Structure 1
C-alpha cells in the first residue's frame, strides 16, 4: 500500500488561492459598486442643477417679457395723464365730461401696474441718480441743492429691482 501523505499546507494552498481570488473579485465588485453609486450621485446633482437652471431661466424669461410688455404700456399711461391734465384744465363741457372716463382709465392703468408690482420712481426732491434718472435739462436755482431733481418731465418706473424706464428730469445747478 502506498500511503501518500500530503502535507497540510499543500492541501490548503488551493483553498487559499480560491479565497484570495474571491477576495480580489469582491474588492473589484465593491469598487464598481462605489463608482456606480458615485456616478448616480453626480447624475442626481447634475439633474438638480439643470432643473434649477431651467426654473431660473424660465423665470428670467417671464420677467423679461413682462418688463417689455409693461414698458410698452407706459407711453399710453403718459398720454392718458396728459389728456387728463388737459381735460382738468379746460372749462369746455365736452372735455369735462370726458374727464371722468379718463380718470377711470387712469385708475385702471395704475391698478394694473400695482398688481404687477410696478412702482413709480419718486424723483422730485431726490438727488440725481444716473441709475434711475435721465437728465434732460438743468436749471440754476438758489433754493435747491446742487444736483437735486427739481422737475420730473416723464415719470420713471421699476418692476421690483429692474428699471423699466428712467425718469426724465430737470436738475438744479448753482449759477
Structure 2
C-alpha cells in the first residue's frame, strides 16, 4: 500500500470516526433530553400524587364533617321532639297550680254545690296532669325526701321533730321534670335539726 492509499484510508477512518463521534454526541444529547423529560415526568407525577393525597385528605375531612353534622342534626331533632313543647307545658303547669289553689280554697266547704264543683275541678286537674304526663312531664316527689338542690329550691329551713336533717317537710309549689330535665324545681321547706 502506498502512502496515498494509507493517507486516504486514514482520512476515511478519521471521517468515519468523526461521524461516529458526532452520532455519539447526538445520541448522548438525545439521552440527556430523554433523561430530563423523565425527571420532569417524575416531578409531575410526584406533584399529582401530592395533589391527589390533598384531595383525598379533604374528602375524608368533609366526609367526617358531614357525619358530625348529621349526628348534630339528629341530636337537635331529638331534643326538639323531647323539649319542643317545654314552653307550652310551663304555661299549663301554671294552670294546674291555679286549679290546685282553687281546690285548696274550697276543700273544706260543706255546701253540696261547692263539693260538686270541687269534684269537677279535681277531675279537670287530674285530666290535665294525665295529659301532661303523656307528654313527658313528671311530678318531682318532694315531701319526705332528702333535699336535693338539683330538684328542690329551699325557701326556708325550720326545726321539725321526728324528721331527719335536710328532709323536705313542706312543699309550697310542685316541681316538674320534662323528659329527664328539670322544668321547674319544687319550692320547699327543709328540716333543720
Q: When the two structures are superposed, what TM-score results if normalisation uses the length of structure 2?
A: 0.75
Deviates more, 1:51-60 or 1:78-87: 51-60
SS of the residue corresponding to residue 79 of structure 1 reads helix
Q: Which runs of 5+ in 1 are unaligned?
A: none
Q: Does 1:116 align with 2:135?
A: yes
Unaligned runs of 5+ residues in structure 2 are 1-11
Q: Which runs of 4+ in 1 moved over 6 A?
A: none
- Alignment coverage as a number of residue pairs: 174
Whose Rg is larger?
2
Q: Would you say 1:90 and 2:95 are equivalent positions?
A: no
More helix by share: 2
Q: Secondary structure at the match of 1:146?
A: coil
| 1:4-153 map, 5 Å | 4-5=19-20, 6-7=23-24, 9-57=28-76, 60=79, 65-153=84-172
Q: Tell me the equivalent position of 1:167.
A: 186
Q: C-alpha distance in 2, partners of 1:140/1:13? A: 103
SS in structure 2 opposite 1:89?
coil
TM-score by length of 1: 0.81
CA distance in 2 between counterparts of 1:64 and 1:150 reads 31
Kindly report the root-mean-square deviation, in angstroms, between the aligned alpha carbons of the 2 structures. 2.6
